[in-house]
């Protein structure tokens, strides 16, 4: 059975997070190592525990498929909006025919 140490890293991290909310893990590690010089603290384990306790989740924002892209996504939505504004496809065709006549003049 392993010896139980009186040093509880998770509790020390929780206390440090309460008093220093915006502190990064490397800064907190340096401060805790300075406060507890006789304890051996693995930096990888510390950072993992620090971010797990903080509850911070890293999110990566990505564009949804079909949004933007090479064509800009503007042609089909614009055409659909035009048809809806005209009232129907037949009405939209009439408007386009009138535009063709105006264009020829």
* 48 part of a folded domain: yes
Sequence-distant (6+) residues with CB within 8 A of 7 are 36, 39
- 43 part of a folded domain: yes
Query: What would the pLDDT profile of 6-57 be if each residue is shown by its tens digit?
Result: 889 899 999 998 898 888 889 999 999 999 989 899 999 999 888 888 776 7
Does 70 reside within a domain?
no
Number of domains the chain is built from: 2
Whether residue 69 lies inside any domain: the answer is no
**Residue range of the domain that includes 98:** 75-104
Residue 2 lies in a domain: no
- The answer on 47 and 80 residing in a single domain is no
Query: Residue 95 and residue 42: Cα distance in Å, rounded?
Result: 72
In this predicted structure, what is the pLDDT of residue 82? 92
Residue 37 in any domain: the answer is yes
Within this chain, do residues 16 and 49 fall inside the same structural domain, yes or no?
yes
**Residue 69 clears pLDDT 70, i.e. is over it:** no
């Amino acid at each position: 059975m392993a010896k139980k140490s009186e040093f509880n890293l998770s509790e020390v991290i929780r206390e440090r997070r309460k008093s220093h909310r915006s502190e990064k893990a490397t800064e907190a590690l340096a401060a805790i190592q300075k406060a507890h010089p006789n304890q051996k603290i693995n930096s990888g384990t510390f950072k993992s525990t620090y971010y797990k306790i903080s509850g911070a989740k890293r999110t990566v924002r990505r564009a949804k498929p079909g949004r933007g892209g090479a064509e800009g996504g503007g042609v089909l939505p614009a055409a659909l909006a035009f048809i809806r504004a005209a009232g129907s496809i037949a009405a939209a065709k009439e408007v386009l025919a009138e535009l063709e006549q105006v264009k020829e003049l």
